[in-house]
Amino acid sequence: MGQYRCHVFVCTFGPWCSRDGDTGEIVKRLKQAAAAAGLKGQVRINKAGCLNQCGHGPMVVVYPQDRWYAGVSPEDAVELVQAELIEGRPLDRLLYHAPPGDNKDLSRYPPELVAAEQAKKSD
Ligand code: FES
């Protein structure tokens, strides 16, 4: 038995998901919805770095279920908490389907932006 029944990670510090949506607001609303459901102390909702699924964000992952969500918006937070943390089921409409491992796809971003981010990494 671990410390928490469930752990939710929101890619907040990665370079791309925060361009795809308001990841800080997603975290805030997930926490609010979990607290409103009386789940404080039972589940953890954390900001995370890049989850190596860039280009599909904002990305959210729920453990130990190992269920991944793509294109999450702040407006999805209440529904996600209801499904995953209260009912223990996936929120099908946002489920991320990809092969195991890294699945970066930066083709949706301007090439100059991708080049600038990659240059930062090589500094
Ligand atoms: S920036 Fe979010 S998965 Fe990489």
Domain boundary assignment for the chain: 6-122
Q: Is the CB of 60 under 6 A from ligand 1?
A: no
* 43 pLDDT more than 90: yes
At 34 the pLDDT is: 98
What mean pLDDT value characterizes the chain?
96
Regarding the beta carbon of 21 and ligand 1, being less than 6 Å apart is answered no
Instruction: Name the CATH superfamily housing domain 6-122.
Output: Glutaredoxin (3.40.30.10)
Report, as an integer, the average pLDDT of 24-47: 97
Q: Is the CB of 50 under 6 A from ligand 1?
A: yes
72 close to ligand 1 (CB < 6 Angstrom) = no
- Higher-confidence position of 118 and 7: 7
Mean pLDDT of 37-60: 97
Task: At 88, list the tokens.
Answer: 């223990």
Tell me the mean pLDDT in the region 89-113: 96
Confidence tier at 7 by pLDDT (50, 70, 90): very high
CA dihedral 22, 71, 9, 49 (to 10 degrees): -70
What pLDDT was estimated at residue 122? Answer: 77
Number of the ligand 1 atom closest to the C-alpha atom of 50: 4
Question: What's the confidence (pLDDT) of residue 1?
Answer: 66
pLDDT at 87 over 90: yes
